[in-house]
């Protein structure tokens, strides 16, 4: 940590970690919806609350920032799950054939 403070690289490390966390959550939303459906929202909500509390409790700026970014990425994923359900319904993403209740548009094109 002393190296980061001496060369003022903390902001760059936070930025890189933010980029990686956001990149990680994109496939997590897609796979989560595929395997678990819309109920995965509650897992993202719980994770968001957990990381939010962690961000408030940690004294280190780097780890507090990373926890905060992860918390709000979890919260954003709740919204993205709803949108992913709609993308699956429209046929833009594959539906899990093992899960019941997935309704798709009859053709790949929808009139909206």
Show pLDDT as tens, one digit a residue, over the chain (112 residues). 676 567 778 889 999 999 999 999 999 999 999 999 999 999 999 999 999 999 999 999 999 999 999 999 999 999 999 999 999 999 899 988 887 665 655 555 544 4
C-alpha neighbours within 13 Å on the C-beta side of residue 35:
6
Which pLDDT score is estimated for 10?
87
Which pLDDT score is estimated for 106?
57
Which pLDDT score is estimated for 112?
45
Q: What is the DSSP letter of 99?
A: S
Which pLDDT score is estimated for 3?
67
Q: How many CB atoms lie within 10 A of CB 11?
A: 12
């Amino acid at each position: 940590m002393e190296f980061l403070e001496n060369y003022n690289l903390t902001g760059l490390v936070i930025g890189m970690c933010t980029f990686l966390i956001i990149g990680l959550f994109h496939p997590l939303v897609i796979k989560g919806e595929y395997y678990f459906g819309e109920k995965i929202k509650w897992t993202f909500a719980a994770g968001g609350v957990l990381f939010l509390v962690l961000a408030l409790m940690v004294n280190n700026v780097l780890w507090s920032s990373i926890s905060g970014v992860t918390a709000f990425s979890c919260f954003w994923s709740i919204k993205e799950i709803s949108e992913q359900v709609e993308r699956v319904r429209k046929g833009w993403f594959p539906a899990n054939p093992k899960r019941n209740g997935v309704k798709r548009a009859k053709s790949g094109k929808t009139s909206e």
